[in-house]
């Protein structure tokens, strides 16, 4: 991914990227996206980066000895530090109902300092109003407590909000959710986004001006159908 494409993706919302992937693939049916309604700490920001993955739990105290827990925690932060950038932390909360917030003022600030562009999780977010600027978190819920949060696994495939993510997957996420961008479409993604936006203007431009007759609308819609995937 070159700098021009990175800038383009950072300036796009996730629905546009999702649609552009279908344009690049030449068909509908792309399904590597999150399900449900996430919460987002920074609704106006999109994040783009390669996934650095981990799994955690917070519902019950860890059963391993403190030295093991600490060593894994430091290994986790090292993985974030050493990850190819741009990078996004993609963290699966293993609890049946996530109850403990890993993502609050401290961890968001730390991850930003480690060079991470943002976080995607099915887990809990807290400390709204105290999070650092420029570090969006897309999460499953909001809550007040950190519970017994502790890292369980590092660098394994994870499932977050219905989306399976492998380490190194290219992620685009914003307040709508997240997608995994298939490697095969990356060389055509900028062109596909331009084609998508042009096709949408076929119906958006006359709709914003208003239609004098239903036949005018029908003609514009027919042209739109012919232009889109």
Binding site members for substrate: 126
- Tally Cβ neighbours within 10 Å of residue 54: 23
Distance CA 95, CA 62 (A): 13
- The beta strands (E) that lie in the chain are given as 39-40, 47-57, 87-93, 101-103, 116-121, 124-125, 137-139, 141-142, 150-154, 158-160, 163-165, 170-174, 177-181
Separation of CA 57 from chain center: 21
DSSP-assigned states of every residue in 184-215: GGGGGHHHHHHHHHHHHHHHHHHHHH--SSHH
**How do 116-121 and 137-139 pair as beta strands?**
parallel
Binding site feature residues: 126-127
**Binding site residue list for Mg(2+):** 127
């Amino acid at each position: 991914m070159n700098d021009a494409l990175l800038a383009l993706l950072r300036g796009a919302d996730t629905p546009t990227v999702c649609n552009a992937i279908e344009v690049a693939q030449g068909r509908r049916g792309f399904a590597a996206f999150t399900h449900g309604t996430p919460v987002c700490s920074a609704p106006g920001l999109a994040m783009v980066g390669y996934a650095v993955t981990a799994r955690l739990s917070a519902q019950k105290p860890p059963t391993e000895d403190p030295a093991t827990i600490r060593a894994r925690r430091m290994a986790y932060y090292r993985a974030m530090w050493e990850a190819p950038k741009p990078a996004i932390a993609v963290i699966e909360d293993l609890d049946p109902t996530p109850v403990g917030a890993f993502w609050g003022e401290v961890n968001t600030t730390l991850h930003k300092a480690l060079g991470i562009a943002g976080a995607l999780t099915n887990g809990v977010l807290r400390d709204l109003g105290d999070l650092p600027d420029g570090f969006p978190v897309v999460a499953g819920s909001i809550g007040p407590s950190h519970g017994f949060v502790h890292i369980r696994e590092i660098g394994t495939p994870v499932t977050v909000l219905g989306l399976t993510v492998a380490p190194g997957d290219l992620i685009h996420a914003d307040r709508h959710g997240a997608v995994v961008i298939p490697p095969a479409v990356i060389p055509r993604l900028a062109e596909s986004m331009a084609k998508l936006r042009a096709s949408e203007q076929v119906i958006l431009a006359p709709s914003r001006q208003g239609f004098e007759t239903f036949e005018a609308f029908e003609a514009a819609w027919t042209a739109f159908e012919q232009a889109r995937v």
